[in-house]
Structure 1
């Protein structure tokens, strides 16, 4: 449990507002995960056991009176089935610019010859280029053989 001690970076009111936002967010997330976290409903005790903290800590966190310790955030996310980064941003603990990154898009690239690839990698030694080129050509041929075997197997099974 993190107390509301004074910090040079934020006011007491800002910390209390953050604790309330985090409490609301975690209450909604716990409810969505199947925990009945209303007082005396039993879900808070189950959540406390799952997270490995006291019932008092769970209650104070969900009621917006305190923030979870940084060391507990991974467990909160795991128990509630949340992505930790999304949880931190959506609860207000991290600013949006630190939020989930969009999935990396695969960019269709031009097929390179082994020589072009070696040039791009900065491989200039003739011996290394000869060896690498031979390995690349051999790997391409092996892949073609495997792909052909797979398509023949699929035709035979189909």
Structure 2
């Protein structure tokens, strides 16, 4: 029997699933290329996969499924790959589709301003728009500033009392 929406009774995969599969293939192709470039023979049963498993701390199955494009590696796993392959962590996240290009290559440094930035201005510059992330980060920044001020005043007091 035909389904007017899809043409058959078979339910199509959700768009996110096929997108994740494409991302897993992209990650596998990228990791295969950079591992090979780094000198690992990652073809099945050639030893490179086992070497990567030992060095990254990931299982041989995880390494193989990742290189074969069957499993999308977690960002934390990519950090292990990047460390072992001596690659830029951010670039690896971009190349595997975990973060978009504009965020991955954006230079967050800037010329020194005459006035310090507020936490909101900094988050705007970094492109942080999620309200929960902004609230959490703002609270952390405010607390860090207070702690630094306390340390600075304690250092100043020690300098006065110590005569230096």
Structure 2 length as normaliser, TM-score? 0.56
Determine the structure 2 residue equivalent to 1:18: 23
SS in 1 for 2:41: coil
CA RMSD, Structure 1 to Structure 2 (Å): 2.4
Q: Which has the higher Rg, Structure 1 or Structure 2? A: 1
* Structure-1 separation of matches of 2:73 and 2:35: 14
* Structure-2 separation of matches of 1:69 and 1:92: 11
Does structure 1 residue 62 correspond to structure 2 residue 61?
no
SS in 1 for 2:18: helix
Contact (CA 8 Å) 1:47, 1:58: kept in 2 or not? yes
Structure 1, unaligned runs of 5 or more = 1-7, 110-116, 122-158
Determine the structure 1 residue equivalent to 2:54: 49
Structure 2, unaligned runs of 5 or more = 1-13, 117-164
Q: How many residues align?
A: 103
Determine the structure 1 residue equivalent to 2:94: 89
* Structure-1 separation of matches of 2:16 and 2:105: 27
SS in 1 for 2:46: coil
